[in-house]
Structure 1
Amino acid sequence: MKRFAQLFSAIDQSTKTTVKVTALAVYFQTAPHEDRMWTMALFSGRRPKRAVTTTKLREWASEAADIPLWLFEESYPIVGDLAETIALVLPANETSSDRSLSQWINALRDLSAVEEDARKAFVLEAWTELGGTERFVFNKLITGGFRMGVSQKLMTRALARATEKPEAELAHRLMGNWHPDDTTWEALIEAEDASADASRPYPFYLAYALEDTPDALGETGNWRAEWKWDGIRGQLILRDGAHFVWSRGEELMTDRFPELARAVDFLPPGTVLDGELLVWQAASDRPDSFNALQKRIGRKTVPKKLLSEAPVVLHAYDLLEWQGHDLRQTPFGERRHLLETACAALPPDAPVRLSPQLDFESWDDLAELRSVARDENAEGIMLKRSQSPYLVGRRKGDWWKWKLDPLTIDAVMIYAQAGHGRRANLFTDFTFAVWNGNDLVPFTKAYSGLTDAEFREITKWVRKNTLQRFGPVRQVTPHHVFEIAFEGIQASPRHKSGVALRFPRMSRWRQDKPLQEANTLDDLNDMLRIYG
């Protein structure tokens, strides 16, 4: 734990990428193999399950600190982080532990099998045994809130320096459903054949948003264009007679989309497709809205009725592996030609469809096509350089997304709630309403889009204009109008307004606009009819 706590401090105390990479590389060269595996797991979201509820931790921490529980509860929202609050209220302790990171994690996981009294005794003893950063790290592990400023890309770079293996190869090794419980450092990182796991996907290549028109990209003949679909980015993997479906977030979703099992009947083993999972309605021969897909996302098993109402297909737009050969270094134009060949013989009812490319001769032609993207239930246009390889992560230059301008509506702030972490002292989470006659009807929440200075200004106003408190939420005097930007709108019987927005955020604080000129519920319903 001591070595890991030192790594934590080195990363937490610096904003420089070079410092973080160096600290991680040294750690991966010197730490025990089991600790290396758990460090990679923690940094990639594979945290152990929480063995103690936060309610009990707060009670035990206030008892150990000899302060009343109400004082701890008042301190918690000010600090904004439970692990840090516990570390701050406990008496100072300079001792350290000889247990390794993996030993502490295993001990925490064993708590789920013991009675509450034994859990409490273990936690209190750990707080006594651990001091400084080690205690803080322990609190992070037990609260399940372990997050650090380390991206997968940064961690891969550090691993490449520590092992002298190519970054792209390591990124591929780290993809998939691995866990420290079922693999080793040798098998995952050092072994020569790390592709034995047939289900392992390739790291996704991500596009940057085009901030202006594409004129600066040069000759149109060097580029391919296609719709940017509003679905779930995924890879369909066909290997060893089986199929696997992975999301961009490295979640295995095979069981959630059983329709795709039939792909093995139409495509050969050794095929990996990159594309968009969409609900496809055969009657209209077009994708349904993201709202239809949401019904499928959270289900581990899918009933026949839902399979019939919301059938899913993979709209394939790239071919990463063909007949067992990795094609990622092949230029996109050639990969696309192979993809078209592979999809040419697919029957109409196949669970895979070829995503069409858009014909254009000038950037003005493409802009005109982009203007009707919503008619195709698309979010905009993707641009890909014909000669581009399939890279790892987000890279500028070869792939761009030219999204539609967001929809907007002016709304009134009626509730406010404090943020978390460094914004725990600011009101950053707001509820917004539109007019329905003389009443204000809440319809969405938003917490991003303002500058820190604007958040500080609105926080001062909230504190002076609170009408009622409902726990952490404050009802405020209706006064301020904000422009709310969003990507889509759909009907929602769960909301009082009858609508739900996709990706709402605050795009402008309309201090120039009086309360009475905010939009109405009729305006929202008009948008629902047009864009829903």
Structure 2
Amino acid sequence: MKRFARLFTALDQTTKTSVKTAALADYFRDAPDADRLWTIALLSGRRPKRTVTATRLAEWAAEIAGLPMWLFRSSYDVVGDLAETIHLVLPDPKHTADRSLSDWIADIRALSKAEESEKRAMIEAAWDGLAGAERFVFNKLITGGFRVGVSQKLMTRALAQATGIEEAELAHRIMGNWTPETTSYAALIVAPDPEADLSRPYPFCLAHGVADAAGSGDGPEVLGDPVDWLAEWKWDGIRGQLILRGGTHHLWSRGEELITHRFPEFARAGDFLPDGTVLDGEILAWDGAADQPMSFAALQKRIGRKTVPKSLLTEAPAMLYAYDLLEDGGRDIRTTPFAARRARLEALCADLPPDAPVKLSPIAPFETWDDLAATRAEARDRQSEGMMLKRRSAPYHVGRKKGDWWKWKLDPLTIDAVMVYAQAGHGRRANLYTDFTFAVWKGNDLVPFTKAYSGLTDAEFRKITHWVRRNTLARFGPVRQVPAEQVFEIGFEGIQESTRHKSGVALRFPRMLRWRTDKPVQEANTHDDLLEMLAQYG
């Protein structure tokens, strides 16, 4: 645990990618195999589940620290993180426990079956035997909130440096439905069995926004000759990989979540496609009568459900709009140029019947960038977010690599709204107010309709935090009510009807585009404006 705590501290104290990579590589060279495996798991999102409630942890820590609960809660409101609050209020440990990361995690997992008295005894013993960063890391693990500013790609790069195995190969090896309980470091990293996990997906290839292209402004002209590019619609669904291997099928989301059982429609894919096929595409709710995608709101009804009722299967049947072929006949073809992969995909999908759960996502033909701009303007009518541009010669990269895949999204929908509530953030923003509730006018009243927490610069967050602290009207736990004086332009990707919100609407991906210090609060948008948007775009 000491070694892992030193790593955590090193990663937390720098923003330099090279420093983080070097620290991780050193750790992967020296740590025991079991700790290396758990570190890979933690940094790829495979955290141990919380086995003790936050309420109990807070109560036990407050009692040990000799604090009344109201004071502990007030401290928590200021700090913004339970693990850090407990770390700060507890007295110094009386002894030192020298145990490995994997040993501590084994104890934490074992608590799921323990009585409450046993849980308390174990946790108090840990608090009394861990000091400094070790105790803080333990608290993060026990609360289920372990996070550190390291991407999976950076972790994979460091692992490649430590092992000498190619980064792209490692990225593929750590994909899939594994946990430290189901594999070992040797089996996962050193000498994996290619037949061990037929469900394993490939790392997704990701795109940069066209506006990120150097000097491009808002359009794709900087990408050069249009003849070198193919354009597709950017569908508004769930990115997924459909895998047909070993006589069965598996469906993965971009977030590496196995979602096979949530979409039973794809069990029929093997009736139409050969074994040894892996498709990359968009999972959409499909309107069979109109032969086109339904809105994201229709698909959203199925997201998060472990089982789907028959009524919903009928109301919002799922379809995979395939736009890339990653494995053909059991052979990995990701290094094949995109135009060739696309041709093979078209041949594979040529004879699919109308009732197959897979369709070929169409190419959007164009000769000039102006042609494509005119086509892009039709995106919302097609339930699309914009366009995807893919270089004909591009391989299927691992992760986000600038140059070959670009997304040219529509400009967001916008509305000017009034901030009415503010709440502090978490982590490095725990002392700043970053989470805001916004309202629009309905007659003479302000009706809350959305929350947003991103889009401002750190300097703007510091400025608005100073204003919130000086102008708080009331407090509701960590939330502060503020005067209706600040107007923000809110951007969002879509709008839908919602019975859960007083406003009657819900926004998709809301964020703050700018702080409208130039706009009087009386000129903010109205509830009628939202309803007009709902009628047009919902």
Distance in 1, matches of 2:454 and 2:14, equals: 25
Q: Does 1:519 align with 2:522?
A: no
Query: Greater CA deviation, 501-510 or 200-209?
Result: 501-510
Aligned mates of 2:319, 2:522 — CA distance in 1: 46
SS of match in other structure, 1:139? helix
- How far has the Cα of 1:95 moved from its partner? 4.9
| Structure 2 residue 337 is matched with structure 1 residue 349 | no
Q: 2:326 aligns with which of 312, 320, 323?
A: 320
The aligned amino acid for 1:90 is L
Matches within 5 A, 1:58-457: 58-93=58-93, 95-191=95-191, 193-211=193-211, 212-457=218-463
CA contact (8 A) 1:484 1:507 kept: yes
Q: Secondary structure at the match of 2:302?
A: helix
Give the superposition deviation at 1:94: 8.1
Q: What's the CA shift string for 1:60-82, capped at 9, x where partnerless?
A: 11222223332222111222222
Residue deviations 1:233-269 (CA, integer Å, cap 9, x gap): 0000000110000000000000011111111001100
Structure 2 CA distance for aligned equivalents of residues 105 and 145 of structure 1: 13
Q: Distance in 1 between matches of 2:164 and 2:380?
A: 47
List gaps (5 residues or longer) in structure 2.
212-217
Identical-pair percentage: 70
- Looking at structure 2, the residues matched to 500 and 175 of structure 1 have their Cα atoms a distance apart, in angstroms, of 33
Q: d(CA) in 1 for partners of 2:9 and 2:487?
A: 42
Structure 2 residue 39 is the aligned partner of structure 1 residue 39: yes
Shift of 1:107: 1.0
Q: Tell me the CA shift for residue 346 of structure 1.
A: 0.1
Q: Is the 8 A contact 1:187 1:194 kept in 2?
A: no
- Partner of residue 17, structure 2: 17
1:195 CA displacement = 4.9
Other-structure match for 1:55: 55
Please give the per-residue CA displacement for 1:45-69, whole angstroms capped at 9, x wherever unaligned: 1111212111111121122222333
Asked if structure 1 preserves the Cα contact closer than 8 Å seen for 2:48 and 2:105, the reply is yes
Alpha-carbon distance in 1 for matches of 2:465, 2:13: 28
The offset of 1:352, in angstroms, is 0.2
Q: Check conservation: 1:331, 1:386, Cα contact below 8 A.
A: yes
CA distance in 1, matches of 2:107, 2:29: 25
2:513 paired with 1:507: yes
Tell me, yes or no, if structure 1 residue 492 matches structure 2 residue 534. no
Cα offsets for 1:295-344 (capped at 9, x unmatched):
11111111111111000000000000000110100000000000000000
Moved more, 51-60 or 405-414: 51-60
Deviates more, 1:67-76 or 1:146-155: 67-76
What is the distance in 2 between the residues matched to 1:465 and 1:17?
Answer: 39
Deviations 1:13-58 (A, max 9, x none): 2222222222222222222211111111111111112121111111
Separation of aligned partners in 2, 1:72 and 1:22: 38
1:175/1:203 contact within 8 Å kept: yes
Query: Normalising to structure 2: TM-score of the pair?
Result: 0.96
8 A Cα contact 2:160 2:166, kept in partner: yes
> Any stretches of 5+ residues in structure 1 without a counterpart?
none
- Of the structure 1 ranges 397-406 and 417-426, higher mean CA displacement relative to structure 2 is found in 417-426
Distance (Å, rounded) in 1 between the aligned partners of 2:477 and 2:162: 49
Q: Aligned in 2, Cα 1:387/1:94: closer, same or farther, shift over 3 Å? A: farther
Q: For the Cα contact (< 8 Å) 1:173–1:194, is it kept in 2?
A: no
TM superposition shift of 1:350: 0.6
Match of 2:483 among 467, 473, 477: 477
- Please say if residues 241 and 251 of structure 2, whose CA atoms lie closer than 8 Å, have aligned partners that are also in contact: yes
- Checking the alignment, whether the CA contact within 8 Å between 1:2 and 1:96 is kept in structure 2 is no
The alpha carbon displacement at 1:439 in A equals 1.7
TM-superposition CA deviations, 1:456-509 (whole Å, max 9, x none):
222232233333322222222212211111010111121111111101111111
Structure 2 contact 201–243 (Cα < 8 Å) conserved:
yes
How far off is 1:417 after superposition? Answer: 1.6
1:402 maps to amino acid: W
Q: List per-residue Cα deviations over 1:186-222 (Å, max 9, x = no partner).
A: 1111115345311000000000011021111111000
SS in 1 for 2:473: strand
Deviation at 1:113, TM superposition (A): 2.1
Distance 2:220 2:244 in 1: 36
CA RMSD in angstroms comes to 1.3
Range with greater deviation from structure 2 (463-472 or 76-85): 463-472
How far apart, in 2, do the equivalents of 1:425 and 1:17 lie?
Answer: 25
Residue 96 of structure 1 contacts residue 134 of structure 1 at CA under 8 Å; is this kept in 2?
no
SS at match of 2:301: helix
TM-score normalised according to structure 1 size? 0.98
Deviations 1:145-190 (A, max 9, x none): 1001111111111111121111111110100000010111111111
Which stretch of the first structure deviates more once superposed, 357-366 or 451-460? 451-460
Q: Distance in 2 between matches of 1:484 and 1:445?
A: 10
- The one-letter code sitting in structure 2 at the alignment partner of 1:32 is P
Mapped contact 1:280–1:313 kept (Cα < 8 A):
yes
Preserved contact between residue 428 and residue 455 of structure 1 (Cα < 8 Å) = yes
The structure 1 residue matched to 2:472, chosen from 462, 466, 478, is 466
Alpha-carbon contact 2:46-2:179 (below 8 Å) kept: yes
Q: Distance in 2 between matches of 1:404 and 1:259?
A: 31
SS of 1:466's equivalent in the other structure is: coil
* Partner secondary structure for residue 519 of structure 1: coil
Query: Matches of 1:272 and 1:358 in 2, distance apart?
Result: 23
* Equivalent AA in structure 2 for residue 82 of structure 1: L
Taking the aligned partners of 2:80 and 2:441, their CA distance within structure 1 comes to 34
Equivalent residue for 2:214? none
Amino acid corresponding to residue 433 of structure 1 in structure 2: A
What is the alpha-carbon distance in structure 2 between the residues aligned to residue 118 and residue 182 of structure 1?
26
Output the CA distance in 1 between the equivalents of 2:185 and 2:249. Answer: 27
Q: Is the 8 A contact 2:473 2:483 kept in 1?
A: yes
Structure 2 CA distance for aligned equivalents of residues 500 and 414 of structure 1:
17
Name the CA distance, whole Å, in 2 between partners of 1:467 and 1:265: 63
